[in-house]
Amino acid sequence: MHFISRVLQLALICCSDGLFLYHRRSMEDRVRLLATLEWAESVPIFAGFDGAVDGIYALIASRTAAGPERMGTIGEFARRIASAANRSTNIERVLLEMRAGGNATLCASALQTLGHTVTLVANVGRPIHPAFNGLVEGGACVHSLGEPNRTDALEFFDGKIMLTDSGQLTTCTAAGHFPTDLGSLFAGRRAIVLTNWTMMPRGTEIFSQIFRQYLPAVSRSVPIFFDIADPARRANDEIVALLDLLARFAETHPIYLSVNLKELERIGGLLGGRSNERADLAEMMEKLHKRWPIEWILHRLDGAESFGESGWHSAEGFFTAEPHTTTGGGDHFNGGFLFGLLAGLPRPLALCMGNAISGAYVRSGKSPNRSELREFLLAN
């Protein structure tokens, strides 16, 4: 009875404020998103394998008597760098904060804050670095592979540039420093998240071994969710080998691959595609799905799309011109999408849930809990 009254209350709020989410969706859709936050059950999830300590920086364009002026766009930074060719230059940076980073750890943080039980295997330090105390204190079961990477994230309003020292992840994964009970850590999970293949030279071999050894014991209904990180520096044949592997395992388990626009264009280039137009992106995703029949998830600053067995879906995002941070926005989208997927939402609403969690995160710089996300949805 309490649940029904709460849904009716949410419906009345929706009627009174007159707001709709993306594409003028129905009242029923919006109530379902909000109601999902009320009843979605906590489930166990596995995430691995990368961890980093991120330094978040702003770059200073100029200083005047009124104070510093921040570089707002990547284009502005690019022009400043280009003008220094054959000349050299100096660019001031300001440390905004030091915090936990890494695709797996940030996605795990999003899911844990939303109430799920997370098992994390990643290079987060021995002993665990203080940057990851929030995960530990929140109840995550954390297994460390070694020392974390270090990343300097140069933040702009239209994106970020990540300067990463990936030596620690490369070393610990190449040496096979995985828990001996990894199979038991997969057992009973309702979703498995595997990230940052790009920074693991033996990533395809590692994933192949994990799948051969452990996947047969994992229920066929369990989604395996990948974010391989920017593959720009990996060779074409390496990318193809990974995608071929994912396609083979899609024969037994639902496989999802989440990419941003730059990553999609890099992979799409393998098939001769490159565009920023929505219609062309849908065509590119369809071609990729035909070649590698997994579900493709694209997250952008202004929305998200997917292409899988049920076709193409999209959801408008929660764009802000002046985010508090962009580093981790994609990881929080991934966590939000999985949250919606595991709650049984149809694909457009699962995409919208990802957009909402990412939108809340980039405005505040912290993973939203259900109450905070509910307020964000009602306000936006």
Q: Where are the domains of the chain?
A: 23-59+97-379
User: Token pair 């995550």 is at which residue?
Assistant: 140
User: What integer is the mean pLDDT of 120-139?
Assistant: 95
Beta bridge partners of 143: 121
Q: Are 120 and 108 in contact (CB under 8 A)?
A: yes
pTM of the predicted structure, to 2 decimals:
0.90
What integer pLDDT is reported at residue 105 of this predicted model? Answer: 97
The Cα–Cα gap between 49 and 189 comes to 16
Instruction: For the chain, give the secondary structure using H, E and C.
Output: CHHHHHHHHHHHHHHHHCCCCHHHCCHHHHHHHHHHHHHCCCCEEEEEECCEEEEEEEEEEEEECCEEEECCCHHHHHHHHHCCCCCCCCCEEEEEEEEEECHHHHHHHHHHHCCCEEEEEECCCCCCCHHHHHHHHCCCEEEECCCCEEEEEEEECCEEEEEEECHHHHHHHHCCCCCCCHHHHHCCCCEEEEECHHHCCCHHHHHHHHHHHHHHHCCCCCCEEEECCCCCCCCHHHHHHHHHHHHHHCCCCCEEEEECHHHHHHHHHHHCCCCCCHHHHHHHHHHHHHHCCCEEEEEECCEEEEEECCEEEEEECCCCCCCCCCCCHHHHHHHHHHHHHHCCCCHHHHHHHHHHHHHHHHHHCCCCCHHHHHHHHHHC
User: What integer is the mean pLDDT of 286-300?
Assistant: 97
Q: pLDDT tens digits for 333-358? A: 999 999 999 999 999 999 999 999 99
Q: Are 193 and 330 in contact (CB under 8 A)?
A: no
Beta bridge partners of 141: 119
Per-residue pLDDT at 171 exceeds 80 = no
User: Token pair 């300067």 is at which residue?
Assistant: 163
What integer pLDDT is reported at residue 178 of this predicted model? Answer: 81
Q: pLDDT tens digits for 304-321? A: 999 999 999 999 899 999
What integer pLDDT is reported at residue 355 of this predicted model? Answer: 95
Of 196, 127, 138, 208, whose CA–CA distance to 162 is shortest? 196
Per-residue pLDDT at 362 exceeds 60 = yes
Sheet containing 117-122: give its strands across.
141-144, 117-122, 44-49, 191-195, 224-227, 255-259, 295-300, 303-308, 311-316
Q: pLDDT tens digits for 21-68? A: 334 445 677 788 999 999 999 999 999 999 999 999 999 999 988 889
Select 23-59+97-379's CATH number: 1.10.3720.10, 3.40.50.300, 3.40.1190.20, 3.40.50.720.
Answer: 3.40.1190.20
Residue 167's CB is within 10 A of a number of other CB atoms, namely 12
Residue 210 identity: I
What integer pLDDT is reported at residue 167 of this predicted model? Answer: 78
Q: pLDDT tens digits for 213-235? A: 898 889 999 999 999 999 999 99
User: What integer is the mean pLDDT of 356-369?
Assistant: 96
Q: Are 48 and 193 in contact (CB under 8 A)?
A: yes
What integer pLDDT is reported at residue 8 of this predicted model? Answer: 44
Q: pLDDT tens digits for 8-24? A: 444 444 443 333 333 44
User: What integer is the mean pLDDT of 324-337?
Assistant: 97
Count of positions (residues) in the chain: 380
What integer pLDDT is reported at residue 173 of this predicted model? Answer: 73
The Cα–Cα gap between 51 and 105 comes to 6
The Cα–Cα gap between 185 and 176 comes to 16
Per-residue pLDDT at 207 exceeds 70 = yes
What integer pLDDT is reported at residue 12 of this predicted model? Answer: 42
Q: Which long-range contacts (CB under 8 A, 24 or more apart) does 29-33 make?
A: 29/349, 30/377, 31/7, 32/345, 32/349, 33/345, 33/349, 33/352, 33/353, 33/356, 33/377
